[in-house]
Amino acid sequence: MELEKAKAIAEEVVNQLSPYCQKIEVAGSIRRQKATVKDIDIVLIPCDPPWDLLHEVKWLGQSKLDGAKLKRIIYHGVQVDLYFATPESWATLLLIRTGSKENNIRLASLARRKGWRLAASGDGLFNEKGQRIAGDSEESIYAALDLPWQRPEERG
């Protein structure tokens, strides 16, 4: 679908869910400003307790996947993936879910070459001793990997 249509749908979902979230942001190809969008990715931190949010998600559309960290729904015929973060995993999960796939592979490969691990779960960037060394912001991950910061629309 075209970017503008995807942005409008994503905005509807964000507006519906934001009262039940500490933080919520559209990720994926919409955040990268790609002309064509396949599905909608949204990263969020639920309010505590998350019951009202979970109830609201059920009203949005047909559930295709109902996991603890990922809920996939069909909203007005469009697949929407909701990724559940914590304050600690927010930035890394937003980075990974924004992509692109090629950018994620590049970051993870650079980390591996240093003996580190970029956790796909969003937990952060870990050194060879298993200590978290970056992940409080997207910029911190780029800096730890000795890379210049890339805005989402520069990530392919």
Query: Per-residue pLDDT tens for 5-46?
Result: 999 999 999 999 999 999 999 999 999 999 999 999 999 999
The verdict on domain 3-84 having CATH code 3.30.460.10 is yes
With beta carbons less than 8 A apart as the criterion, state whether 30 and 5 touch: no
| Residue-wise pLDDT tens digits, 64-76 | 988 889 999 999 9
Q: SS3 helix, strand, coil % of the chain, rounded to 5?
A: 40, 25, 30
CATH class of segment(s) 90-154: alpha beta
Domain boundaries, the chain: 3-84, 90-154
- Picking from 10, 139, 148, the residue whose alpha carbon sits closest to that of residue 78 is 10
Tell me, what's the pLDDT at 65?
A: 86
Predicted structure pTM score: 0.94
Q: Do domains 3-84 and 90-154 have the same CATH topology?
A: no
Diameter over CA atoms, the chain: 46
